[in-house]
Amino acid sequence: MPQLKIGLCGQEGSLKEKFYAKSKAAESCTKIAKKYTERCVNFMKKVGFTYLSQEDILNLDIPYKEIIDIVEGALAEHGRKKVEMPPKPGVHTRPMTFIHAMPAWLQEQDVCGIKWVSGYPENYKYDLPQIAGLLILNDPETGMPLSVMDCRWLTAVRTSAVTAVTAKYCAAKNASALTVIGAGVQGRFNAIMLKEVVPNLKVIYVSDIKEEARKKYAEDISTKLDIEVMPVSNIEEAIKNSDLVLTATQRLSQPIVPLSWLKPGVCCFGLEASRAWHGDAILGVDKFVTDDWEQTKYFASHGAFPDGLPTLHGELGEIVTGQKPGRESNRERIMAINIGMAIEDIAVAAKVYEKAVEKGVGTELSLMEQEALF
């Protein structure tokens, strides 16, 4: 800023000269201030992000095997305690519903973001999906949003990929029969992902409260996987003949699977935070596995596991990294109730964003053009 030297009256020129000098200095100061302000405003880069719709993501055609590998890598980071991920808080605006916030940072991959996801089982009445939401992927260096994307596909594939990783380490080597209870999105995706890691899978028994849903599932999945899929109404018989049992129901008022139906060597997967399983099944298996024990305890404090929490064998990340064993005998009955972790969503979302940038997929949107707010 230029210094204005004005002497005392009568010492350095006339009053007019002094006023003129003062005026010119003020004008100079104004110009400099204006340039400084413009520089401050223009110094900030325009902030934008890539919007990815469900269809954008589907068009990327990321292989299921790649999704499983990504999720296994995220679980390994969790096993090494290299993640920041608070238990997911939520609001529950109607009975049996939720809207959850799921933030996470994977330190080794250095990716972060948050998923805002809702689950409303009665949405079929409005011709809307049960699960919906958005995921924001952030730049871990600046915090700026990189992408905002649909999270319905992300949720479907990461949930089923966690089941696949669990089966990789905990299913019997000769597992060939799977029972799926619930013929919806998760029932379908879990079967597809399990086929990726259970090479001897030969038959799937599917049950659903809606007969047409059972039949449609059998038709679609048998064609996609080229294996036998049998719709059943008697779930007891199906479960007793299965090496893998997966419940992918909505929130149930009463459990449906007791311990007496589980044969030696079975591997069980509950996607409803315990609600489909009788307490004797959860407490009576040989090993209980979950993806995150703190989140499991948090869910228990909010009504899950009404008969009490089982003894934890190990977190899935600990099994993946070799800190805890997976299956150790052909007769062990193992149950996995994986609550679902934000790190899984963020890891998959980072790959989605990477692929979208490579292929030029998505819509570029502006968050702000300049820093000035007024």
- pLDDT value at position 28? 55
SS3 13: coil
Q: What are 168's two structure tokens?
A: 């990789």
Q: Are 110 and 140 in contact (CB under 8 A)?
A: yes
Domain with CATH 3.30.1780.10 in the chain: 47-153+344-368
- pLDDT value at position 18? 40
- Of all helices (H) and strands (E), which one includes residue 367? strand 363-368
| CA–CA distance, 241 with 40 (Å, rounded to integer) | 70
Instruction: Report the percent of the chain where pLDDT is more than 70.
Output: 88
152-170 vs 64-79: helix axis angle to the nearest 10? 70
Instruction: Report the percent of the chain where pLDDT is more than 90.
Output: 80
Q: What are 373's two structure tokens?
A: 């707010």
CA proximity to 225, closest of 180, 262, 287, 273: 180
CA proximity to 290, closest of 275, 302, 273: 273
Q: What are 229's two structure tokens?
A: 């899929």
Residue-wise DSSP of 304-350 = S-TT-PPPP-EEHHHHHTTSS----STT--EEE-----HHHHHHHHH
Instruction: Evaluate the CA torsion angle 329, 330, 335, 340 in order and state its sign.
Output: positive
| Each residue's pLDDT tens digit, 352-362 | 999 999 999 99
CA distances from 206 to 214, 226, 245, 265, 274 (A): 6, 15, 10, 20, 19
Q: Which residue has the tokens 């413009």?
A: 38
Q: What are 144's two structure tokens?
A: 């700026």
| Each residue's pLDDT tens digit, 253-276 | 799 999 999 999 999 999 988 889
The superfamily (CATH) of domain 161-342 is: NAD(P)-binding Rossmann-like Domain (3.40.50.720)
Q: Are 365 and 47 in contact (CB under 8 A)?
A: no
* Burial environment of residue 363 by CB neighbours within 10 A (0 to 12, 13 to 18, 19 or more): exposed
- Of all helices (H) and strands (E), which one includes residue 49? strand 47-52
Pairing of β 287-290 and β 90-91: unpaired
pLDDT band for position 87 (cuts 50, 70, 90): confident
Query: Residue 8 pLDDT more than 70?
Result: no
| Each residue's pLDDT tens digit, 262-317 | 999 999 999 988 889 999 999 999 999 999 999 999 889 988 999 999 999 999 99
Domain with CATH 3.40.50.720 in the chain: 161-342
> What is the domain class of 47-153+344-368 according to CATH?
alpha beta
| Each residue's pLDDT tens digit, 101-144 | 999 999 999 999 999 999 998 999 999 999 999 999 999 999 99
pLDDT greater at residue 3 or residue 297: 297
* Burial environment of residue 255 by CB neighbours within 10 A (0 to 12, 13 to 18, 19 or more): buried
SS3 76: helix
CA proximity to 196, closest of 66, 54, 102, 89: 66
| Each residue's pLDDT tens digit, 220-265 | 999 999 999 999 999 999 999 999 999 999 767 799 999 999 999 9
State pTM to two decimals: 0.86
| CA–CA distance, 8 with 17 (Å, rounded to integer) | 12
Q: What is the mean pLDDT of the chain?
A: 90
Catalytic residues: 115
| CA–CA distance, 338 with 272 (Å, rounded to integer) | 9
Q: What are 257's two structure tokens?
A: 């699977």
Residues in the chain: 374
Q: What are 342's two structure tokens?
A: 């934000």
